[in-house]
Structures are given as structure tokens and as C-alpha cells.
């Protein structure tokens, strides 16, 4: 281990006391641990990065402020690599020799500001004090980069415990990859990603991060940061977008919908239920729902681009509000709710869009239809219009809409929220509701009664088929449709029904 005097640091700013010098660059990896990738539901094939300003560095024992009007400040315990000697176009075999030191870091982030950063994290992770590093440097030559341990505690509770053996990309690969693109200079810092367990912290919480080498006993010591509440407003909406959160941001910040206090939106259809729904027309389901007192369950005013394709899935909801120029400025651009919904849709889910029946602009086009298809979504239902209708149809994913329109989204709508209860085509749709569509239209089935409704509809289909055969034989419909006692007895005898 070493300290700032032994590394030749410039002891002029206490923020950089644990480092050899003020970093010229801080580069952070987006996603690097297997556990985090599994939690996020995506596994990148190559590392990707973002920059953090050196002004965000803080020393151990300091504080970080949660700005006024925000709720989703999250910690991320990480291993920090500090470059010791310049690296440019180095191979993976030689890359570790250019790392001078290893220590602990906390890649703090404010999810309230993430949406409009489009993955750059400039505002959400660049705040003052958002990169605590230290307190002690470990000589990189004395440790095995594949056997470093990372642990994080919040209020003395261990919340992260992982090893570099569980990285998607070895530390040396990350260094070598970055050196392909620019010079890594002495003092540059690489934050190597966080494992599962990252979550929201609130004023009064104390976060501690430690990196160590269990085999050698070398340790960074515990990097300690206390969360405080800012007293003065931090953001002026006239200068830029204001903090904004939705349930997607809450889920990712907290680490799960359960921890965020959100309802389970991950309902999936059992294969047996899906098979039953494949066999039942929407008209038959509507009949059974009506028998159970549910009359307002059809999404009206939408027609399929592919009338021959059956749509079956669980609802992932997206809500648009009427366009207002100031609101579109703050919520319509960047990584807005519409784009987040299409990026987050899961296998077998149906994106259901509330557009208030306003078909005077598009609510999606072919790019988003392609994204939904790539995510293995079951389909898309919107009570608004679609742009590039022919191109959307060519994608092949089932789509129901109020019609085609060439105008862009901003003419009529502001994308507002995802995974909330919405109104689409005159009916209420909640996340996880079961959506079924065919040439007759689209219906919404409450999950709690879906199996019962499907079984009853299948039984009714069998009965209707038997009745149709009797009518085709020349029998009148009176007494046959519906079955009177005499015909019912004949049906039971023919089919073995009880």
C-alpha cells in the first residue's frame, strides 16, 4: 500500500489527497459485472463508457449533498484503477503493467437527472462530490487483478460483495480497450463498474466501500461518505431540464420494483394459458367477460396492421399527455418515456399506449417497431396514429392503431410516463393486464380471472361449433341457439358433457 507522499501527489487540494495527482480523465464503465447484468436484464458484448469530471472527486470522510427536489441518489461501490504510466495502443497482455494503483470508489448518481443525459451521465453523475475515491492506494504490482474483492456497506449493513472473477470484461481488457481510443495518462482514473446491490441512499445514510486482495491482505481501507440534504434549490428550469422521475428510473435506482415499493409489472403468461388464448377468438373472450359483469374491456377504435396475426401478451403501459410546448421541451426530447418504454419492454409484453384517441400524429414509427421486435415484445397497441405505416407493417410485429398519420409525435403529444395505469381506446389498462387481439379487435383481461375466462370461452367455442353443425344440417335456430333443454340434452349426449 502507499499514500500521497509516496506517489508524489500535489497536496494542494484535499479532494485529491488519496491520488498521485488531480486526474486528467475519469472514465467509467457502464456495465461490467455479471450480477449487475443479470439484474438489468441485458448483457453487453463489449464494454461501453462515460466520462466524469475531475471536479466530482471527493476524499474519504466527506459528504455528498442530495439536491432539493430529487429523490433518487444512488451509490455504486466500484474498484478504481489509477494509471501509473502512459498507455496508448497497448495489448491486453501488457495493459495491467500500466496500472499504478488500485483503490475504492463510489460512483454516485442522481437518477432524477438521467433521462435527458442519453447515457452520457454528464449531469446525473458529474455533480460535486459524486466520485469519492480512496482512502489508500494499493500497489497494482502486488495484486492479482482477477482476484480483487469489492464490498460496500450502508449504515454498517453489507450490501455489495463481489469479485473481479465475476467481471464480464477483465480489468486488463478495459485498460487495453480504452488505450485504443486515446492516451491514458498518469493519474487518469478508470471506474470499473458496480455489481448488483446498488440502491438509493437518503440524507443521514453512511456509505462505506472497500477494495482488498484476500490473498495478500492489501486493502484500500474503507472509503466513507455521508449523505446530507441540500438546503438551496439547485436547478433552474429556464436554463435546462429539471429533475424528473418515473417508475422505470425508480426501479433501476433502487435495484428492483419491490425495493422501490412498486407493484409487480413482470407478470408473464403461463404457457398453458397462452395456448388456450391462442385457440379462443376475442369475440368469445368478450362474451365470457360480459357474463362476469365486465363490459368495458375492449380497446375501441384500433385496427390491426396484420389482421391474420393473433396478439397475446401482458401489458407494458406508456402514457402520452396533450402537447404543451414547455412540457415537450422538458419531457419530449432525449431519452424520453417513449424511448424508455421500447427499450425496457420484455419478452411477451405488449406496449399499450394511451394517446387519448388522438390520431393526428404518430405515436411510433418503424425504428421503435424494430426495437420492440428485437426485444421479443408480443406487439403494440396504440389508440393514436402511427408513422411510416408501410415500414411498420413490414417489421411484422402485431400492431393495432387508430390509423396512419405522417406527423411526428410532438405535433399532438408529450411522452409522459411508463408502467402506470392508463386509458387506451376507452378502457383502463394496468401493467400486467392480459392483452388479446385478433381481426375483431383488442380486449383486456384481468390476470386474476384469465384462466377461468379462457376455459369458459373454450367450452363455449365447442358448444357453438356443435350448434353451427346442426344449423348447417337444416335445423332452425329457435331453441338451438341458445340451447333449450331438449337440445342441451342432445348436446350432452353427443359430447359426453356433464
User: What pLDDT shows up at residue 5?
Assistant: 42
* Peptide linkage before 221 cis (omega within 30 of 0): no
CA torsion through residues 322, 324, 330, 334, sign = positive
The CATH class for the domain spanning 271-451 reads: alpha beta
Residue 398 near residue 306 (C-beta atoms within 8 A): yes
pLDDT for res 223: 97
Does 188 carry a binding-site annotation?
no
DSSP H helices, 280-412, are 282-291, 325-331, 337-344, 366-374, 389-395
Distance CA 417, CA 319 (A): 5
What sign does the dihedral 393-399-405-406 (CA atoms) show? negative
Place of cell 405515436: 363
pLDDT tens digits, 247-260: 778 888 998 878 88
Q: Is 365 annotated as a binding residue?
A: yes
User: Coil, strand, or helix at residue 108?
Assistant: coil
Given a contact cutoff of 8 angstroms between Cβ atoms, the answer to whether 89 and 54 are in contact is no
Q: Work out the angle between the directed axes of helices 450-472 and 282-291 (0-180°, nearest 10).
A: 110
Domain range list for the chain: 4-254, 271-451
Task: Give the residue ranges of the chain where pLDDT is below 50.
Answer: 2-7, 9, 11, 498
Residue 147 near residue 233 (C-beta atoms within 8 A)? no
Residue 388 annotated as binding site? yes
CB atoms near residue 399 (< 10 Å): 26
pLDDT in tens, 339-351: 989 998 988 999 9
**Top CATH class, 4-254:** alpha beta
Judge contact between 91 and 97, C-beta under 8 A.
Answer: no
What's the burial of 296, exposed, middle or buried (CB within 10 Å: 0-12/13-18/19+)?
exposed
For residue 261, the model assigns a pLDDT of 81
368 carries a ligand binding annotation: yes
Query: Residue 21's pLDDT is what?
Result: 95
> What local confidence, expressed as pLDDT, does residue 4 receive?
42
366 has binding-site annotation: yes
Amino acid at each position: 500500500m502507499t499514500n500521497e507522499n509516496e506517489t508524489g501527489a500535489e497536496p494542494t487540494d484535499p479532494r485529491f489527497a488519496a491520488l498521485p495527482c488531480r486526474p486528467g480523465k475519469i472514465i467509467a464503465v457502464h456495465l461490467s459485472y455479471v450480477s449487475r447484468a443479470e439484474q438489468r436484464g441485458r448483457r453487453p458484448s463489449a464494454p461501453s463508457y462515460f466520462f466524469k469530471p475531475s471536479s466530482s472527486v471527493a476524499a474519504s470522510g466527506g459528504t455528498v449533498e442530495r439536491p432539493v427536489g430529487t429523490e433518487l441518489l444512488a451509490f455504486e461501490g466500484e474498484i478504481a484503477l489509477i494509471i501509473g504510466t502512459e498507455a496508448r495502443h497497448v495489448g491486453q497482455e501488457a495493459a495491467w503493467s500500466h496500472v499504478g494503483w488500485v483503490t475504492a470508489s463510489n460512483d454516485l448518481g442522481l437518477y432524477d437527472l438521467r433521462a435527458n443525459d442519453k447515457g452520457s451521465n454528464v449531469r446525473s453523475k458529474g455533480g460535486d462530490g459524486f466520485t469519492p475515491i480512496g482512502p489508500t492506494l494499493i500497489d497494482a504490482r502486488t495484486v492479482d487483478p482477477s482476484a480483487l474483492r469489492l464490498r460496500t456497506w450502508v449504515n454498517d449493513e453489507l450490501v455489495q460483495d463481489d469479485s473481479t472473477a465475476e467481471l464480464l470484461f477483465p480489468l486488463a481488457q478495459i485498460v487495453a480497450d480504452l488505450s485504443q481510443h486515446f492516451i491514458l495518462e498518469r493519474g487518469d482514473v478508470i471506474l470499473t463498474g458496480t455489481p448488483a446491490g446498488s440502491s438509493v441512499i437518503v440524507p443521514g445514510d453512511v456509505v462505506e466501500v472497500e477494495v482488498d486482495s484476500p490473498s495478500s491482505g492489501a486493502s484500500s481501507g474503507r472509503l466513507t461518505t455521508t449523505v446530507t440534504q441540500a438546503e438551496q434549490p439547485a436547478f433552474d428550469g429556464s436554463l435546462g431540464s429539471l429533475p424528473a422521475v418515473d417508475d422505470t428510473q425508480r426501479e433501476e435506482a433502487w435495484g428492483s420494483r419491490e425495493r422501490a415499493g412498486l407493484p409487480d409489472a413482470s407478470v408473464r403468461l403461463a404457457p398453458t394459458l397462452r395456448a388456450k388464448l391462442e385457440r379462443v377468438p376475442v369475440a368469445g373472450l368478450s362474451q365470457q367477460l360480459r357474463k362476469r359483469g365486465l363490459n368495458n374491456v375492449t380497446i375501441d377504435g384500433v385496427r390491426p396492421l396484420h389482421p391474420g396475426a393473433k396478439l397475446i401478451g401482458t401489458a407494458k403501459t406508456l402514457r402520452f399527455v396533450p402537447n404543451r410546448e414547455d412540457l415537450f421541451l422538458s419531457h419530449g426530447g432525449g431519452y424520453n418515456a417513449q424511448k424508455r418504454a421500447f427499450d425496457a419492454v420484455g419478452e411477451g409484453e405488449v406496449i399499450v399506449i394511451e394517446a387519448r384517441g388522438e390520431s393526428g400524429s404518430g405515436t411510433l414509427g418503424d425504428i421503435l417497431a424494430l426495437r420492440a421486435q428485437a426485444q421479443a415484445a408480443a406487439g403494440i397497441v396504440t389508440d393514436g396514429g402511427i408513422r411510416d405505416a408501410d415500414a411498420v407493417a413490414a417489421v411484422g410485429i402485431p400492431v393495432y392503431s387508430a390509423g396512419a398519420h405522417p406527423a411526428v409525435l410532438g405535433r399532438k403529444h408529450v411522452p409522459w410516463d411508463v408502467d402506470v395505469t392508463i386509458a387506451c381506446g376507452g378502457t383502463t389498462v394496468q401493467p400486467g393486464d392480459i392483452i388479446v387481439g385478433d381481426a375483431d379487435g383488442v380486449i383486456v383481461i384481468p390476470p386474476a380471472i384469465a384462466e377461468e375466462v379462457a376455459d369458459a370461452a373454450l367450452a363455449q367455442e365447442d358448444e357453438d361449433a356443435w350448434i353451427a353443425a346442426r344449423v348447417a344440417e337444416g335445423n332452425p335456430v329457435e331453441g338451438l341457439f341458445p340451447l333449450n333443454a331438449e337440445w342441451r340434452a342432445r348436446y350432452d349426449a353427443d359430447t359426453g358433457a356433464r
